[in-house]
């Protein structure tokens, strides 16, 4: 059965956020490669075995914007972790005054995503771009996990939320998530666009995440209300 059309759309998001946002480099302290490289080496040293290949498990933006070339991809299930908007984004998809939210893996439940197989000739060089992207903002922790796929289990690197980070938002209500995602925008674009592209990618891959699906509908509703409000105020101001 074909999935229902999304309530959220790029057109609706663009109408709600017509003005570009300037980058603020001071909004988020980023780790340098000199700090990141030893952490990646330590992560690779904890890799149980190289026999099964080098894999990365994607569940959010890596589904639609991977930071690496890959030789194989498998839809799979990760147990013990669930996908949730629980990481504040004060840059890129938000501002310090109005932080956006991005996805992290938090404890409990299950998560359907994609395991990507990467070239294993030089693991450090291969993983460094995605390690930099995910780890430089100190919002995630690297972790080796077992992903169940139709072709058998694989050990993959993934990025779980860092609960010790000041960016960790905890478990917000769906209403609060929708409000924040609908209103936040950074120099890379609105937080709602990040949600849209993730849900769109999941739908394309046959991954149905009920929470994401209901959240995109709530965000679409908030955006429509925001787009309608200026017109409503204009009409109320017209002489009777």
What is the distance between the alpha carbons of residues 240 and 224, in angstroms, rounded to a whole number? 26
Distant-in-sequence, close-in-space partners of 182: CB < 8 Å, separation ≥ 6: 16, 191, 192, 219, 222, 223, 226
* Of 39, 97, 134, 148, catalytic: 134
Cα end-to-end distance, the chain, whole Å: 51
Catalytic residue status for 134: yes
Helix (H) or strand (E) holding 198: helix 191-205
3-state secondary structure of 231: helix
Contact 117, 72 (CB under 8 A): yes
CA distances from 220 to 12, 42, 128, 214 (A): 8, 42, 36, 10
Contact 177, 191 (CB under 8 A): no
Say how far residue 13 (Cα) sits from the centre of its chain: 17
What is the distance between the alpha carbons of residues 236 and 240, in angstroms, rounded to a whole number? 9
Pairing of strands 54-58, 154-161: parallel
Catalytic residues: 134
């Amino acid at each position: 059965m074909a999935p229902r059309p999304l309530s959220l759309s790029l057109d609706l998001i663009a109408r709600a956020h017509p003005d570009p946002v300037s980058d603020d480099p001071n909004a988020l302290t980023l780790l340098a490669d000199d700090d990141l490289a030893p952490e990646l080496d330590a992560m690779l040293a904890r890799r149980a075995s190289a026999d099964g290949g080098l894999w990365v498990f994607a569940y959010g933006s890596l589904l639609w914007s991977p930071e690496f070339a890959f030789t194989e991809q498998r839809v799979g299930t990760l147990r013990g972790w669930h996908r949730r908007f629980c990481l504040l984004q004060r840059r890129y998809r938000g501002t310090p005054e109005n932080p956006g939210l991005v996805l992290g893996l938090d404890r409990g439940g299950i998560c359907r995503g994609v395991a990507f197989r990467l070239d294993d000739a030089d693991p450090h060089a291969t993983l460094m771009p995605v390690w930099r992207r995910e780890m430089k903002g100190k919002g995630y922790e690297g972790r080796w996990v077992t992903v169940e796929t139709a072709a058998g289990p694989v050990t993959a690197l993934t990025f779980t939320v860092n609960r010790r980070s000041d960016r960790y938002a905890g478990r917000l209500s769906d209403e609060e998530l929708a409000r924040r995602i609908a209103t936040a925008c950074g120099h890379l674009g609105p937080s709602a666009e990040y949600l849209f592209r993730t849900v769109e990618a999941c739908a394309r891959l046959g991954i149905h995440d009920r929470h994401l699906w209901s959240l995109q509908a709530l965000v679409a509703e908030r955006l429509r209300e925001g787009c309608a409000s200026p017109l409503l105020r204009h009409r109320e101001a017209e002489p009777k």
